Structure 1
Amino acid sequence: MTDSVDEQDGSYAAARLRLLTQEAESGPPRRAALAALTDRWLAALAGAAAGPGPGGGQGWALLAVGGYGRGELSPRSDLDLVLLHDGATEIAALADRVWYPVWDQGLALDHSVRTPAEARKAAGEDLKVQLGLLDARHIAGDPALTSGLRSAVLADWRNQAPARLPALHEMCQERAERQGELSYLLEPDLKEARGGLRDATALRAVAASWLADAPREGLERARAQLLDARDALHLVTGRATDRLALQEQDQVAAALGLLDADTLLRQVYEAARRIAYASDVTWREVGRVLRARQSRPRRRGLLGRGRGPMPQPAPERVPLAEGVVEQEGEAVLALTAKPDRDPVLPLRAAAAAAQAGLPLSLHAVRRLAAAAPPMPVPWPAEARELLLSLLGSGEATVPVWEALEAEGLVTRLLPDWERVRCRPQRNAVHRFTVDRHLVEAAVQAAGLTRRVGRPDLLLTAALLHDIGKGWPGDHSEAGEIIVRDVAARIGFGPADVETLALLVRHHLLLIDTATRRDLDDPETIRTVAAAVRDTSTLELLAALTEADALATGPAAWSTWRASLLADLTGRVADALDTGELPDSGDGEPTAEEERLAIEAARTGGPVLALRARTEPGTDGEEQDRKLGVELLLAVPDRPGLVAQAAGVLALHRLTVRAADLRSFDPVGEGQVALLGWRVSAEYGALPEATRLRADLARAFDGSLDIEARLAEREAAYPRRRGITAPPPRVTVAPGHTSQTATVLEVRAHDAPGLLHRIGLALAATGVTVRSARISTLGADAVDAFYVVGKDGGALPSARAAEVARQVEEGLR
């Protein structure tokens, strides 16, 4: 008996060694072959221990569970075994005769001996035991015992799923907190980190519950890639380890036939992202199903007994944007959406989801990826604004961006993104891969937009500042070349393209200079001033520097670094010529403006003209709706004019993209205000000019209660407050920017009715708005109001500061 066992052990060891050293067989075939070889060996051990005779295979069964149960045995994996028995069989001796040969081989063993009832009880008390038993597989003994336990455990799992799945989700979240995100770690744990093999196993358990299922496309391949990496790691190190340490990555890459360690990490990161994204989608669906079950009423029979769930009404669909609605906590495509005819729809859906703080549904993203036509080049103005709205949404940007990236939409919109996607950073200071760092920089920049006059350029530069990584040479120099092409593709004008190229080229200039040069040396300041050219670019570069550092990691930003940067930028700003802001109201009216102003002065009522803003589409047709309209309004000047007009536009669901307010006396009988608006519809068609004029007239004569109407609309369609935007900021521009008025600059997160609220806040201070420049840059409103006091002149400094404070408080 002993000789036979020793012979079996020796044969198994030799066969196992041959299998692990065969280069021709690796990956899933080798794992399956190793599991099959181990099955035969253990079955022979158990059979010999049980002895011959009719009872030799009765009353007990040997089961493989966990990864071994799935037939996925890595070179140094534990053998997870359960010896099942009926309680009547003498089991202790049998167990010893199986366990000891395994230990003698130097193999790690996780084992238990239980009756079926004990196994079910252990599963009910320990979620990890239950998960292992879901993959139980028969090796030897009585198959009926195995099949009975498998059926019972699976039935228990499905019956207990509403209680056990939330516990499993919590376990996954706690593990992610401890181990981090596999797809961003320089030394990732292939099993325990978020997006690793544990999460892939959890997705199998969710599918087994029949409550929800993971998006399967690419999932099995991702799991196989992580298992292949772990196999190579086991063979390279000779240890049962799941951590891919830096010093072993080149050897593991070579074992897998990959070019280098960076190629290995990129492949591992891509696999982890696929699993992590599938996990997010799956757990969201689990939550939706469980909430629906909890809220579902049941019909009562004549005797008070339930007769099944009552029919449920269709889920409510709340409009978010043209072609996009909210349904059951997700942003989905509207029933009327035509993704095959609307190249801008992917960005519109993404921006709407991020602005509402909602996930973008998997079905919507896949439908967009399959159907949306290519984006025209250069992009339409709407597409550029939507990209900026997405980037300006703060933390809510990240999951929406990940959803777009999972289905290939990001690289379709920005082909240069492919080189930085999943690219590792060989720098311990960096927390993220290159692509995620760029998105995080945009997130950080969204919180700094109040500091700059061009938040659109700040957000774009943040997204693209490291786009040159992955190309040979200095990434800043390569990035400057790339960003010129990307910015022009997005639709920025030549001057803005030059500014973006400068920001990318010099995105390290300020922090390197502040921390490595003598700021008391005049040449240091002259060099930086020559590079940045003007103060507006300087403020953009300073904000980009901070966003880049904050996105890099804690070690890249500190109070000390911030103080050095502030000192440098202050000195450079003093050294630069600060040119004057253009003063609104100096330009002569056009013939059309003069005609409208004369008619308004003559009739005393509002006079308006609508003109469609068009540009050629991909097929030569014009895209009127996409670009909105220009609305020119003439009305006798009066207090509160801006608030009243803006309130009417908000009631008609018109988004103000830009506006210009001026006033002059066309006939010598009083000032007439000219308001030029560039507006677009939030969703649906643009309003009729006659209805718009009628509501404007009612607003000006006081018969339209704008506040009440806006409140009613908000109550009917409550806006999601899913993002945390920086607070509004109102400042007094330097005195030399206007000789005859005080310039108040307002920066705030764009929202329906914002301009109306700004107008009310200004009116409450008692100042008169002489002219204004309104602009919406992505998710931000950047407005300048030229105000005068009762004497018609600029406000004294103290009064101007008080007005700015009051307006800011009113907006908060």
Structure 2
Amino acid sequence: MHHPHVENTPDDPGGYAAARLRLLTEDPHPGPPRRTALSRLTDTWLADLFAGAATVAGTDGDPAGTRGISLVAVGGYGRGELSPRSDLDLVLLHDGSDPARVAALADRLWYPVWDLGLALDHSVRTPAEARKTAAEDLKVQLGLLDARHLAGDLGLTTATRTTVLADWRNQAPKRLPQLQELCAERATRHGELRYLLEPDLKEARGGLRDATVLRAVAASWLADAPREGLDDARRRLLDVRDALHLTTGRATDRLALQEQDQVASALGMLDADALLRQVYEAARVIAYAADVTWREVGRVLRSRSMRPRLRAMLGGGKQPAERSPLAEGVVEQDGEVVLARTARPERDPVLPLRAAAAAAQAGLPLSPHAVRRLAATTRPLPAPWPAEAREQLVTLLGAGRPTVDVWEALEAEELITRLLPDWERVRCRPQRNAVHLWTVDRHLIETAVRASALTRRVGRPDLLLVAALLHDIGKGWPGDHSLAGETIARDVAARIGFDRADSAVLATLVRHHLLLVETATRRDLDDPATVRAVADAVGSQSTLELLHALTEADALATGPAAWSAWRGSLVADLVARVAARLAGDTPAEPGTTAPTAEQERLAVEALRTGGPVLALRARAETPAGDEGRGQDDAGQDGPEPLGVELLIALPEQTGVLPAVAGVLALHRLTVRTAELRALDPPEGVEGSVLLLDWRVAAEYGSLPQGTRLRADLVRALDGTLDIASRLAERDAAYPRRRGVPAPPPRVTVAPAASRHATVIEVRAQDAPGLLHRIGRALEKAGVRVRSAHASTLGANAVDTVYVTGPTGSPLPPQEATSVARALEEALGG
């Protein structure tokens, strides 16, 4: 390693600043070599500062000024891990004999550091003070465990470090549980590093702080972390932090979205996704090591607390650990699942799946030693798998929440990719969508967990669970992940031993896993073409049943924004209609159903008064399937939006859709669906009536006032309420989030989606009044809106409108395309 030459200058006696700059900008060896070189360079500079300051402060008996005083690096600097913007963590130790000399020396040390603009975390303590502070503050004690002598009295540093380390080991039974609690609190605050789109490399669970904690646990001699890959994971996170510091010029640990491409480029990676995947893989290794280590700490502490009583009971004898059989070759011992003494992994290729299934079913962790042995000695499964292997996989997937930890244990030794090679492409793959809580692979496991609660609803729970595991497997390939996943799912199904018919069903489920929710929220369910298209895609009642359960499990596993009682009811309604068609029933044509008594009453009242008449009622729009939610949904508590059913009747006129949509937006009501229908007047009554059937969500959970809605609607229709200006004023009052600009809106025509109307689909950034703007543009284009369906996931909205020409017929293809382009231009402006 080349070390920069240090030149003395008046302002920087060691030439440290210039040498540091050359090292950070010109050194061709980033990573550990550069961190080591930066630490050594800093060591030399601080030692020179100390020597000069100590000589000035020296006494007759100690002209060098070093007796009874030393400079010590602690924390990250003590470990020799200086990143470009890292703090210098320093302790000035002294024996307390000459406070004035210590104060003068400290000033001569700290001020040059500050003058260079370096971050400094410093303290001045005697060994007794250091020991007392460490006993009171766990973070101080952890920092002192990495103490490293820089200059001065070596004996003072050595004695202090030895004492602190002895205290740590003596107090470990008390302090380690406290440290574990701190780690849990930090994880709650900062989240899981391996799933976050903008992770904190240091504080999030699985980050650099956890790697340091594992060193401290090892220093206690109570337990040690699994070493395989741990040092490499820590090095990769440090490399990313170094590049982040140099890219931003700041001492930051948060890997923000807008900086990820630059950091990836600085590290020679393809793109930000490659960077995040490497970060996630490193975090997974550290998080798994932490889980195993804390489990071992708990086992050791329990064993110690039990030992005196056991000795008394056994008269000083030693009792062997109890082993309880769980499955062939698999036993429970001391709260873990281990291999039986008679197990022969080299002769039993099904053993990894059998052990995993037994562990998940028992709700117990798989011993890392057992997993390591399985990975090292088990032969590959034949293709196709034997029936037992497939059954054990299904049992593992159906075990519920314990499946997650068992799957992670298999992942740690790369057993999953040996069983399912296609898993490698989705492993630790990020999802750049705020709706998703997890990486692709974790989402697939979470979907299986959710599906395990729905297996009583289907005739083939094995197909449901395997489909849950595979439904997004195509996201590791370019193009439409559903199409790619269909092919992969068919191949995987054959490999794991499903017959041709079952493989075809699994391929269909993967291909159409988004079909129900997208159709239910974006299409007119009263249109026979909608139901017919879904029935043709699904093909059978049994597949429909499986797809319904998979849809719910997938949405629940995505995140709170992906599923609600409203979405659940729409999907259930669609499933009922499709099931009826598959059974041979013919749905009624749209608009032919007779109006209800309430609708007729509103129509008569609207004609009598000559204005709009409203009726509304509320229902709580709580997320569907909430009973299946566990701790993973923490942080999502709060008031749920209130679902509102709103009926509006008014004499037929133009401009109704934009007027109603705009008024609802002003009242902070989010549109779910909107159906517009012309009603023939009752016998003896003149005039025609428009009936609008809306499903909306109240943003702040309170029922809107019908009188205020009606008053604003009257003003909007007669032109005295400028909705566009009011919405613009409200939008301007809110600061926009800094980040990547939203992509432009996209408007497409869905051919053959309906025989009775032209279906236009709008994809745009969600914003208050979006449906109002769509309605205005369509009114300007001279088309009639029959129904509208709004779907929102995170910041993205997909609004589908069914339109006709003035005569009530679908638009000719060329005119439909022209309307779509005009709508896209209007929204883009």
- Please give the alpha-carbon distance, in whole angstroms, between the structure 1 residues aligned to 2:164 and 2:26: 38
In the alignment, what sits opposite 2:110?
Answer: 99
- In the alignment, structure 1 residue 215 sits paired with structure 2 residue 216: no
Closer, same or farther: CA 504–429 of 1 in aligned 2, 3 Å: same
Deviation digits for residues 395-426 of structure 1, max 9, x if unmatched? Answer: 00000000001101100000000100011111
In the alignment, what sits opposite 1:45?
Answer: 49
Deviation digits for residues 454-510 of structure 1, max 9, x if unmatched? Answer: 111000000000011121110000000011110000101111001000000000000
- How far is 1:577 from its partner? 2.1
Contact 1:8 1:41 survives alignment (8 Å): no
- List structure 1 runs of 4+ shifted beyond 4 angstroms: none
Q: Which residue identity lines up with residue 489 of structure 1 in the other structure?
A: R
In the alignment, what sits opposite 1:141?
Answer: 152
Deviation digits for residues 665-720 of structure 1, max 9, x if unmatched? Answer: xxxxxxxxxxxxxxxxxxxxxxxxxxxxxxxxxxxxxxxxxxxxxxxxxxxxxxxx
In the alignment, what sits opposite 2:280?
Answer: 269
- Please give the alpha-carbon distance, in whole angstroms, between the structure 2 residues aligned to 1:309 and 1:267: 54
Deviation digits for residues 343-363 of structure 1, max 9, x if unmatched? Answer: 000000000000000000001
In the alignment, what sits opposite 1:519?
Answer: 525
- Please give the alpha-carbon distance, in whole angstroms, between the structure 2 residues aligned to 1:323 and 1:62: 57
- Please give the alpha-carbon distance, in whole angstroms, between the structure 2 residues aligned to 1:197 and 1:36: 21
Pick from 290, 297, 303: which aligns with 1:286? 297
Q: Which residue identity lines up with residue 107 of structure 2 in the other structure?
A: D
TM-score normalised by length of structure 1:
0.69
- Please give the alpha-carbon distance, in whole angstroms, between the structure 2 residues aligned to 1:363 and 1:275: 17
- How far is 1:560 from its partner? 1.3
- In the alignment, structure 1 residue 326 sits paired with structure 2 residue 332: yes
- Please give the alpha-carbon distance, in whole angstroms, between the structure 1 residues aligned to 2:287 and 2:497: 34
In the alignment, what sits opposite 1:167?
Answer: 178
- Please give the alpha-carbon distance, in whole angstroms, between the structure 2 residues aligned to 1:309 and 1:278: 37
In the alignment, what sits opposite 2:31?
Answer: 27
- Please give the alpha-carbon distance, in whole angstroms, between the structure 2 residues aligned to 1:511 and 1:256: 40
- Please give the alpha-carbon distance, in whole angstroms, between the structure 2 residues aligned to 1:197 and 1:433: 20
- Please give the alpha-carbon distance, in whole angstroms, between the structure 1 residues aligned to 2:87 and 2:184: 25
Q: Which residue identity lines up with residue 313 of structure 1 in the other structure?
A: Q
- How far is 1:142 from its partner? 0.6
In the alignment, what sits opposite 2:380?
Answer: 374
- In the alignment, structure 1 residue 560 sits paired with structure 2 residue 566: yes
Closer, same or farther: CA 329–513 of 1 in aligned 2, 3 Å: same
Q: Which residue identity lines up with residue 217 of structure 1 in the other structure?
A: E
In the alignment, what sits opposite 2:577?
Answer: 571
- How far is 1:6 from its partner? 3.5
- In the alignment, structure 1 residue 314 sits paired with structure 2 residue 323: no
In the alignment, what sits opposite 1:57?
Answer: 66
- In the alignment, structure 1 residue 357 sits paired with structure 2 residue 363: yes
- How far is 1:4 from its partner? 7.4
- Please give the alpha-carbon distance, in whole angstroms, between the structure 1 residues aligned to 2:45 and 2:14: 10
Secondary structure of residue in 2 paired with 1:6: coil
Alignment length (residue pairs): 571
Pick from 430, 442, 445: which aligns with 2:448? 442
- How far is 1:88 from its partner? 1.0
- Please give the alpha-carbon distance, in whole angstroms, between the structure 1 residues aligned to 2:346 and 2:454: 37
Secondary structure of residue in 1 paired with 2:10: helix
Pick from 390, 396, 413: which aligns with 2:419? 413
- How far is 1:310 from its partner? 3.4
Report the RMSD for the aligned CA atoms in angstroms. Answer: 1.7
Closer, same or farther: CA 6–310 of 1 in aligned 2, 3 Å: farther
- Please give the alpha-carbon distance, in whole angstroms, between the structure 2 residues aligned to 1:311 and 1:205: 33
- How far is 1:59 from its partner? 1.6
- Please give the alpha-carbon distance, in whole angstroms, between the structure 1 residues aligned to 2:118 and 2:299: 43
Contact 1:188 1:243 survives alignment (8 Å): yes
- Please give the alpha-carbon distance, in whole angstroms, between the structure 2 residues aligned to 1:420 and 1:190: 22
Closer, same or farther: CA 227–271 of 1 in aligned 2, 3 Å: same
- How far is 1:311 from its partner? 3.7
Higher deviation after alignment, 559-568 or 49-58: 49-58
- Please give the alpha-carbon distance, in whole angstroms, between the structure 2 residues aligned to 1:485 and 1:310: 60
Deviation digits for residues 77-135 of structure 1, max 9, x if unmatched? Answer: 01101011111122111111111111111111111110000000000000000000000
- In the alignment, structure 1 residue 338 sits paired with structure 2 residue 344: yes
Contact 1:323 1:334 survives alignment (8 Å): yes
In the alignment, what sits opposite 1:70?
Answer: 79
- How far is 1:574 from its partner? 1.2
Q: Which residue identity lines up with residue 87 of structure 1 in the other structure?
A: G
Secondary structure of residue in 2 paired with 1:91: helix
TM-score normalised by length of structure 2:
0.68
- Please give the alpha-carbon distance, in whole angstroms, between the structure 2 residues aligned to 1:558 and 1:106: 52
Contact 1:511 1:545 survives alignment (8 Å): yes
Q: Which residue identity lines up with residue 210 of structure 2 in the other structure?
A: D
- Please give the alpha-carbon distance, in whole angstroms, between the structure 2 residues aligned to 1:310 and 1:191: 47
Closer, same or farther: CA 578–203 of 1 in aligned 2, 3 Å: farther
- In the alignment, structure 1 residue 260 sits paired with structure 2 residue 271: yes
In the alignment, what sits opposite 2:168?
Answer: 157
Q: Which residue identity lines up with residue 168 of structure 2 in the other structure?
A: W
Structure 2: runs of 5 or more not aligned:
1-6, 586-829
- How far is 1:298 from its partner? 7.0
Higher deviation after alignment, 44-53 or 342-351: 44-53
- How far is 1:10 from its partner? 6.5
Secondary structure of residue in 2 paired with 1:20: helix
Pick from 542, 550, 574: which aligns with 1:544? 550
- How far is 1:567 from its partner? 1.1
- In the alignment, structure 1 residue 13 sits paired with structure 2 residue 17: yes
Closer, same or farther: CA 341–299 of 1 in aligned 2, 3 Å: closer
In the alignment, what sits opposite 1:238?
Answer: 249
In the alignment, what sits opposite 1:452?
Answer: 458
Deviation digits for residues 215-245 of structure 1, max 9, x if unmatched? Answer: 1011000000000000000000000000000
